[in-house]
Amino acid sequence: MIDYSHIPEEPGSYLFSDDGGSVIYVGKAKNLRKRVQSYFQKRDLDPKTAVLVGSIASVDFIATRDETEALILENTLIKQHQPKYNIDLKDAKSYAFIHLSEDRFPRIGIARKTGVKGTYFGPFVSGRERDHLLAAVKKIFGLRSCRRLPKRACLRYHIGTCPAPCIGAITEGAYAERVAQAVEVLKGRVKGLIARLEEEMKERSDACDFEGAIRLRETITALDHLSGRRMMRPKRSHEGDLINYRVSGEEVFLLLFHQRNGTLVDKEEFRFPQSPDFLSEFLVQYYSDHEVPEEVIIPATVDGAISGYLARLRGKSVSVTVPKQGQKRDLLEIAAKNVDLTWFAGEERIHALRNALKLPKSPTIIECFDISHLAGTATVGSMVRFTNGRPDKRHYRRYSIKTVVGIDDPAAIREIVSRRYRRLIDEDRDLPDLIVVDGGKAQLAAAYAALRKLDLTIPIAALAKREEEIYLPNIPYPIPVPSDNPASLLLQEIRDEAHRFAITYNRLKRKKKVIP
């Protein structure tokens, strides 16, 4: 079962991945949690969606400021990952532009590529809004849309929406003035144009040219309506990396985004011990193994030598920027928001788990064990660790079972629990705050006995798959925690990850046995 309780109720894009880690679907949502939740609560799914849901092993997300940014990000992520279930959006290569040609009497139209000479405006997030703007500009300014100038006036001339440059009904200069006004609108400079047209309208009214003043008033009214609509994706040629972090206790939780055309993509997560110059050290180590962009945006100043170091790696200049305001500062705030949502959204679930199990302290570090085999053969074990409610894959471990023959899951659990904590004791390493085993009372008893033999008093629980029942040592009945409680959902997510990790290792072991 996929746990979506840690997903925020924020706009953004979500990514579904299969058990191999490949992204199989990307979507966008006004409310990420509700959208993801809907996939697993509907019972009457269409066949394609049912297959998709059955293939989902994990969910990731990137939060945005609004739904429009989420749509842009969705398109970017689909192009990047090429997920198998995003057929429609993957086929639509990009958002369309409005194109103004370089002809003597420029024509206006829609273009998906920018290879033809002319001026491009966009791209547009909404096709409906793009078409509305195009139709409005053509109607207000009377720009032609025909690919070739005809030899006689067409219907648009007779209904008053084209000045018919094809028959010389308008001069080149007068048409160029209309084009200049249309460009102002397409660039978003509507208010300035309206102010100039209002002055011209007053002048015509004072000169008793009431017919001309009325036409200008109608144009101003149409432009005023357009000025309130947000349609165009801001065009940014800038590309670079953006980094933000949060220091909690003695650790740094850091996210790095690759920025493409003003959109944050490729969220990479890092967690490491705090040091006095951790940001400088991170930049040096990361970019020694990765491509250096033209700009790195960070929230705090670093050693001035960093810019020179990155420039040497890149072979050309690199800007290391600490923005105080503007668009780049806004992007930093989005990244900071994602840091909190990625690393610290699990605090509520951890608190709920502590209360449900009546633990002496918050289970910041949880380790979970599972066993996998095929009819008693190729038996393996897995151990996954979650820190602050998030997978901590650096500490994942897998085990080949050495002392158990045939099907005996409790005995296999006893073996790997003993091996794990005997090693941690011998190496004087930190122990977890909570141990979880996949199974029921038998598996719990075996793991508990292994801990007692090591003189360890770590809290331990078992989670049985069928009814998602939680068992504790020396209590014959499951504790009364509903399966949709945040505490139970967190345990289910951890158990499912241990199960996935165990199955992956079991398959690998059987594959190696088959291949000579």
| pLDDT band of 183, cuts 50, 70, 90 | confident
Average pLDDT of the residues of the chain? 82
pLDDT tens, residue by residue, 287-344:
888 888 889 999 999 888 888 888 888 888 889 999 988 878 888 888 888 888 877 7
Pick the CATH number of 348-514 from 3.10.20.30, 3.40.640.10, 3.40.50.10680, 3.30.420.340: 3.30.420.340
444, two tokens? 């719990």
β-sheet bridge partners, residue 354? none
Is residue 403's pLDDT more than 50?
Answer: yes
Residue 92 is predicted with a pLDDT of 41
Residue 447 is predicted with a pLDDT of 96
Is residue 384's pLDDT more than 80?
Answer: yes
Is residue 240's pLDDT more than 90?
Answer: no
Residue 302 is predicted with a pLDDT of 87
Query: Of all helices (H) and strands (E), which one includes residue 308?
Result: helix 305-314
pLDDT tens, residue by residue, 41-75:
877 777 778 888 888 988 888 888 877 677 777 77
| pLDDT band of 406, cuts 50, 70, 90 | confident
C-beta of residue 38 within 8 angstroms of C-beta of residue 16: no
Is residue 353's pLDDT more than 50?
Answer: yes
Its pTM stands at: 0.51
β-sheet bridge partners, residue 436? 368, 461
Residue 224 is predicted with a pLDDT of 62
Pick the CATH number of 239-343 from 3.90.660.10, 3.30.70.20, 3.40.720.10, 3.30.420.10: 3.30.420.10
Strands (E), 190-262: 239-248, 251-260
| pLDDT band of 229, cuts 50, 70, 90 | very low
Distance CA 250, CA 237 (A): 38
Do 239-343 and 348-514 come out as alike in CATH topology?
A: yes
Query: Of all helices (H) and strands (E), which one includes residue 488?
Result: helix 486-514
Q: Where are the domains of the chain?
A: 12-91, 97-227, 239-343, 348-514
CA end-to-end span of the chain: 36
234: DSSP letter? P
The stretch 230-234 carries a mean pLDDT of 40
User: Cα torsion at 366, 372, 378, 380 (round to 10°)?
Assistant: 10
Supply the DSSP string of 361-416, one letter for each residue.
S---EEEEEEEEEETTEEEEEEEEEEETTEE-GGG-EEEE--S--SS-HHHHHHHH
Which of residues 253 and 288 earns the better pLDDT score?
A: 253
The stretch 352-367 carries a mean pLDDT of 93
Residue 169 is predicted with a pLDDT of 86
Among 76-80, 343-347, 392-396, 441-445, the range of highest mean pLDDT: 441-445
Peptide bond into 486 cis (omega under 30): no
Residue 249: strand, helix, or coil: coil
Rg (CA), the chain: 31
Distance CA 58, CA 49 (A): 16
Does the 12-91 domain belong in CATH 3.40.1830.10? no
The stretch 142-155 carries a mean pLDDT of 82
Distance CA 134, CA 232 (A): 12
Residue 296: strand, helix, or coil: strand
Percent of the chain with pLDDT over 70: 86
Phi first, then psi: give them for residue 162, nearest 5 degrees. Answer: -145, 135
Residue 244: strand, helix, or coil: strand
The stretch 242-255 carries a mean pLDDT of 88
Task: Please give the distance of CA 503 from its chain centroid, rounded to a whole number.
Answer: 27
Residue 265 is predicted with a pLDDT of 66
C-beta of residue 172 within 8 angstroms of C-beta of residue 106: no
Is residue 515's pLDDT more than 70?
Answer: no
3-class SS letters over 172-201: HHHHHHHHHHHHHHHCCCHHHHHHHHHHHH
Query: Of all helices (H) and strands (E), which one includes residue 50?
Result: helix 47-55
